Structure 1
């Protein structure tokens, strides 16, 4: 039966149900005639509206029919009118085309794998894959390798968390990447130590002292040392910072490193002095602002924290400091 015939019969039965209420006959006959005609009309209207849905709704057609039937049956006349309006709307104004079905979606590359700056997965995406034990081992290894090729505190934390994985192969790879990262820094320290012993001029010796200062700090920052060695590495980093200053003077990067060390040692006055000196000597505001805000926070000067973080609107877009800057904007 075509949709036009279903519509005509539905309207006829609905009108018949209404007429039955005004015909002179016993009440029980009126009720029976109304109920029968109204049920048939409701069924026809629900069939009509369900038939216009695309094929992808076929498994749910019984549920849709029950929904439309209930609406038409329990709201006499007005339910049928609403269904007719809906039918006209979907037919004339809202086209429900067939959706293109897909079976798989290519996963975005990790940021370290992408040749250009594009949509990709960073450390968060890699960690979500790695901790999903149901994922194929190759994908988990790929995630570990992608992040293991980077550097920084988050990378070290990621690798250390991976060393406790239940998969032996992933755990061994994480240990290997941690060891390789530490060996790279230790090799830089050894080379700089030898160069410092054989260095002739102040400029050459200062370059080796500078390398040692930043290399020891990298061991601390990347959490590649235990508590006992951590204090020693901090002292060594500060020692070579001072030696570099004595040989060739200070610069903004050394001042920032000195401020970081004092901040780690809870020497807030010295840290603030070093960070402010770095700003005066040309350090970028976006680099020193987080440290100045942290120092203001330790002093419980929350107004200054909010003011400092508001100076650079791009801070809220940067990893690490971004969520902090967004929080203090509220």
Structure 2
């Protein structure tokens, strides 16, 4: 008798379920039958009082605390995206080097145009190795346009410098030195072109100093050029002279530490970094290097 009533009740309860749950009718019948047989006398009242109301009036779902968002596209032009950009240098470098989609690599090259030249040029040079012609040629065109702009400024200054007064010539020589140095500093020149750019940068910076260009910045520039050429002794002397003429020690001391390291004068390296740490009130511009050498306040 109990079995017959349990089967009848199971068939009825399976039909009483909400419309959205009636697809598995046979499974529902079996589930109710097992429940009723396991709890004779209490199964049916329990299902009617507790289970069915829960099926018809379920507890409201809590609002989802997260949502899926699409990956942002690489920017084609400067956009306002808050205090930090969507893609930094590392993100673009990863896309250019590793992305399988050529379209994404091309977008990365487009985005690199909006970055500081010192950060963008290594990325563009990496894109020159891309197997896809469109990516490679576009990167080349961007690099070529940057180099052409510098060369155009150099040509304009050279055409004007001979007719200028001495004070203007000093300024123009200094501007030429900066332009030639930028070719080397940004990595736009290599091989013989790099050597020529460094020679011209040093020549024009020296001429600016001879013509009375005031300030320590010209000595500081000459020191950087000499260091890039590998003339360590001359660079060290020039950097020290620039400090005497008012250059910030916080700007010059890292280069003096680099020269000492190249000469394998490691005690001098530590001394320079200790001095740098003191000059900068324990906030040096190269904290990782200072910490690596164990320099503390």
Q: TM-score if structure 2 supplies the norm length?
A: 0.67
Q: Distance in 1 between matches of 2:83 and 2:144?
A: 31
Partner of 1:126: 92
1:266 matched residue in structure 2 = 230
**Change in CA separation of 1:325 and 1:150 when aligned onto 2, cut-off 3 Å:** farther
Contact kept? 1:152, 1:221, Cα under 8 Å: no
Structure 1 residue 108 displacement after superposition = 9.5
> Could you tell me whether the CA contact under 8 Å between 1:251 and 1:281 is conserved in 2?
yes
Q: Extract unaligned runs of 5+ from structure 2.
A: 1-61
How big is each residue's C-alpha offset from its partner over 1:270-311, in whole Å with a ceiling of 9 and x where there is no partner? 111111222232323332122011012123232332343351
Q: Number of paired residues?
A: 227
Deviations 1:97-152 (A, max 9, x none): 88634222554987x93658723333222111222323572x43343233233444
> Aligned equivalents of 2:192 and 2:223: distance in 1?
22
Aligned to 2:142: 177
Q: Please give the secondary structure, in 1, of the residue aligned with 2:68.
A: coil
**Residue in 2 aligned with 1:193?**
158
Cα offset for 1:218?
1.2
* 1:294 corresponds to: 258
Aligned twin of 2:32: none
Residue 315 of structure 1 deviates from its aligned partner by 3.8
Please give the alpha-carbon distance, in whole angstroms, between the structure 2 residues aligned to 1:108 and 1:290. 39
2:143 is the counterpart of 1:161: no
Q: For 1:106-117, what aligned pairs fall within 5 Å after superposition?
A: 107=72, 113=78, 115=80
Q: Give the superposed CA RMSD.
A: 2.8
* 2:110 aligned residue: 145
In the alignment, structure 1 segments of 5+ residues that lack a partner are 1-96
**In the aligned structure 1, how far is the partner of 2:124 from the partner of 2:102?**
19
Q: Secondary structure at the match of 1:248?
A: coil
Secondary structure in 2 aligned to 1:198?
coil
Considering fraction of residues, name the structure with more helix. Answer: 1
